[in-house]
């Protein structure tokens, strides 16, 4: 499988199978939003679970049971980004 096939498959599975695209402008908005998620938040196995824009692993969070998790909906809830509350 080549890189373009892999990217197309990822886009289809993670976004396009779940969103009804209403035109070229809407497709551009959806793909731009997914690109932001993909580069800034989505973990990548080849980068040791870091997104492309991250330089290093975040510091470990002490006392996980005491921390609240915040969820941000991306693409109308198709994707959820989670992070610990400060």
Residue 70, H or E segment: strand 69-74
pLDDT of residue 39: 81
pLDDT at 8 over 70: yes
Spans of all domains in the chain: 3-84
CA proximity to 39, closest of 84, 86, 81, 83? 81
pLDDT of residue 55: 75
pLDDT tens column, 13-72: 989 999 999 999 999 999 999 888 888 888 777 777 778 777 776 666 666 666 788 888
pLDDT of residue 38: 81
| Residue 22 to residue 25: CA distance in whole angstroms | 8
More confident residue, 10 or 54: 10
DSSP 44: B
pLDDT of residue 46: 72
């Amino acid at each position: 499988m080549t890189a373009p096939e892999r990217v197309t498959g990822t886009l289809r599975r993670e976004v396009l199978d779940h969103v009804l695209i209403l035109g070229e402008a809407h497709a551009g908005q959806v793909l731009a939003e997914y690109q932001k998620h993909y580069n800034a938040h989505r973990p990548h196995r080849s980068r040791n679970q870091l997104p492309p824009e991250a330089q290093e692993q975040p510091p470990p969070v002490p006392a996980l049971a005491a921390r609240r998790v915040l969820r941000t909906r991306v693409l109308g809830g198709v994707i959820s980004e989670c992070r610990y509350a400060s």
